[in-house]
């Protein structure tokens, strides 16, 4: 983990808090920078949650900024105590939002029904097998539609990640971490792009099914 500036002494903290209270924005910057080590310390507790350390620190820093901006010395003696709580709250909000998105966006979530009223999902469209010739033709049309939509409604980065993630277009299927290493980005960023892309596709399929 990268090194951070040393924390302020009690006297220094009191000085910069007073200066910030008087409207000195440079004092605010110092209060934030000299408490980044606290953010890293809190973020370390959540490293096993599947997020990259850099992402945790970035989100935690938002909590730190809020803490410095709203700190009331009359209610709390130490800024660090208040800031730690704000940082942790920001991280917990991140994990709650991740779980919500995970529940809402899935390749296995139904996007409509087939001719017999059976539910179908995006994964059915991509990987489905059928012995009925008519159903095979319908699957072929849906698959063609899927590939067409990739270029119509997704960004190039979204297309690339979906193709790698699910082995589309004869690509080798890869994990999010493998994709992250290949593209030089964080795994959590890959996850966000994937979920956003799947959501776009799902909504488009739903709209077209409703128009039939």
Structural domain boundaries of the chain? 10-103, 105-211
Is the pLDDT at 31 greater than 90, yes or no?
A: yes
Per the model's pLDDT, the better-predicted residue between 173 and 23 turns out to be: 23
User: How many residues would you count in the chain?
Assistant: 212
Average pLDDT, the chain: 76
Domain at 105-211: CATH architecture: Orthogonal Bundle (1.10)
Per the model's pLDDT, the better-predicted residue between 104 and 62 turns out to be: 62
At the topology level, CATH places domain 10-103 in Rna Polymerase Sigma Factor; Chain: A (1.10.1740)
Q: Distance (Å, rounded) from C-alpha 186 to C-alpha 183?
A: 9
Helix (H, G, I), strand (E, B) or coil at 177: helix
How many Cβ atoms sit within 10 Å of the Cβ of residue 139?
Answer: 20
Using one digit for the tens of pLDDT, what is the confidence trace for 163-211? Answer: 888 777 666 788 888 888 888 888 888 888 888 888 877 777 666 555 5
Q: Among 205, 212, 210, which residue's Cα sits nearest to residue 147? A: 205
Equal CATH topology for 10-103 and 105-211: no
Is the pLDDT at 137 greater than 80, yes or no?
A: no
Using one digit for the tens of pLDDT, what is the confidence trace for 142-153? Answer: 555 666 667 778
């Amino acid at each position: 983990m990268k090194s951070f500036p040393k924390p302020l002494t009690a006297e220094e903290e009191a000085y910069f808090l007073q200066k910030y209270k008087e409207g000195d924005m440079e004092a605010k910057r110092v209060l934030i920078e000299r408490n980044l080590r606290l953010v890293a310390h809190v973020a370390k507790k959540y490293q096993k949650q599947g997020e990259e350390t850099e992402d945790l620190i970035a989100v935690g820093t938002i909590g730190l900024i809020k803490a410095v901006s709203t700190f009331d010395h009359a209610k709390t003696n130490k800024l660090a105590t208040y800031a730690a709580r704000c940082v942790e709250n920001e991280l917990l909000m991140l994990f709650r939002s991740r779980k919500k998105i995970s529940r809402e966006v899935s390749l296995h979530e139904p996007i409509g029904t087939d001719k017999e009223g059976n539910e179908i999902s995006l994964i059915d469209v991509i990987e489905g097998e059928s012995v009925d010739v008519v159903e095979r033709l319908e699957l072929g049309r849906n698959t063609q539609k899927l590939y067409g939509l990739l270029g119509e409604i997704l960004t190039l980065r979204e297309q690339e990640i979906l193709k790698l993630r699910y082995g589309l277009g004869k690509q080798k299927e890869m994990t999010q971490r493998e994709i992250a290493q290949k593209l030089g980005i964080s795994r959590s960023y890959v996850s966000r792009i994937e979920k956003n892309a799947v959501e776009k596709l799902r909504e488009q399929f739903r709209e077209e099914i409703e128009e039939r």
